[in-house]
Homo-oligomer: A and B are copies of this chain.
Amino acid sequence: MTQPPDYCVCSLLKQTRVFPLPCVTGMLAEQFVADGPRLHLYDFEEKHWKYLHNWQHATMYLFFGLAAAVSLITHSTEAAPPALDRLMLGIAFFNEGFLFLYHLHGRSMLDVHVHQLLLYAVFGQALIAFLEVFHRGNIILELLRCTLTLLQGSWFWEIGFVLYPPSGPAWDLKDHSNMMFITMCYSWHLAFALLVAGVLYCTVSCVVRSRLKRTPPVEMGLLKTRERDAESEDEI
């Protein structure tokens, strides 16, 4: 069956979502930016490690790249069991949290705290991706993972504003009331992420429903066939 062009584009975009290209770009960028390691790791003259942070970031990208490659394989061929993409995603998030966890030695109190809060989102995503291995297609888990991804993103932004404030005075990194405010901030970010995920979910499901109603029966049969194709890609 020849597939109509719009379906192909949609499918391509869907696969681009998981295409490992951004991860490879990220790894290269971490290595070859102006003051990057350029594949050097050990300073043999002064006998100590250099550029450890860049290498750690590149390692994180590496695992997300692996997860994307596996996702591409499971969706386009039948060589791998379909749940493997969620397992790799879970391992990639676990690895990210694992590297952040041992990243914090000797920093000031607030700096450690904002990174620890981040770990809630990261390990939460790892756990949910692992649960999805057994409960694939559970909409609740998908929404929760989406929410935690939004939370992680907005919290990275917040970390930037706290540690390197673009204007105004620097934060006192040892003040306890700052720490309590930041904790509350994290709850607000979570509420915001829940709201965004909820609005997105409602919009998408409304659009899909109204389309299904408008389509005449014959067209709808075709649509269903296409849907079944798209699904069969997911649930081989």
Partner of A102, one of B59, B79, B87, B180: B180
Spot the interface stretch: A15-23, A32-40, A47-55. Answer: A47-55
Q: Is the CB of A52 within 8 A of B184?
A: yes
Partner of A184, one of B55, B83, B84, B87: B55
Q: Is the CB of B87 within 8 A of A191?
A: no
Q: Is the CB of B99 within 8 A of A184?
A: yes
User: Could you tell me the distance between the alpha carbons of A66 and B120 in the complex, rounded to whole angstroms?
Assistant: 20
Q: Is the CB of A191 within 8 A of B63?
A: yes
Q: Is the CB of B102 within 8 A of A187?
A: no
- Interchain nearest-CB distance for A73 vs B (Å): 9
- Interchain nearest-CB distance for A93 vs B (Å): 13
- Interchain nearest-CB distance for A230 vs B (Å): 20
Chain A residue total in the interface (Cβ 8 A): 53
Q: Is the CB of B202 within 8 A of A49?
A: no
- Interchain nearest-CB distance for A97 vs B (Å): 11
Q: Is the CB of B55 within 8 A of A105?
A: no
User: Could you tell me the distance between the alpha carbons of A198 and B95 in the complex, rounded to whole angstroms?
Assistant: 18
Determine if A106 is an interface residue (Cβ-Cβ < 8 Å): yes
Q: Is the CB of B187 within 8 A of A106?
A: no
> Which residues of chain B are near A140, meaning CB under 8 Å?
81, 83-84, 87, 133
* 11 A/B residue pairs, CB under 8 Å, sorted by A: A41-B181, A52-B177, A52-B180, A56-B180, A56-B184, A59-B187, A66-B191, A66-B194, A81-B139, A105-B180, A134-B135
A contact set with B: CB distance below 8 Å: 41, 48-49, 52, 55-56, 59, 62-63, 66, 70, 79-81, 83-84, 87-88, 91, 95, 98-99, 102-103, 105-106, 120, 133-135, 139-140, 143-144, 175-181, 183-184, 186-188, 190-191, 194, 198, 201-202, 205
Apart from A52-B177, A55-B184, A87-B143, 10 more pairs, CB < 8 Å? A48-B175, A49-B178, A49-B181, A52-B184, A66-B194, A70-B198, A79-B202, A81-B139, A87-B144, A91-B194
Interface pairs A-B: 3 shortest CB-CB: A102-B183, A49-B177, A59-B187
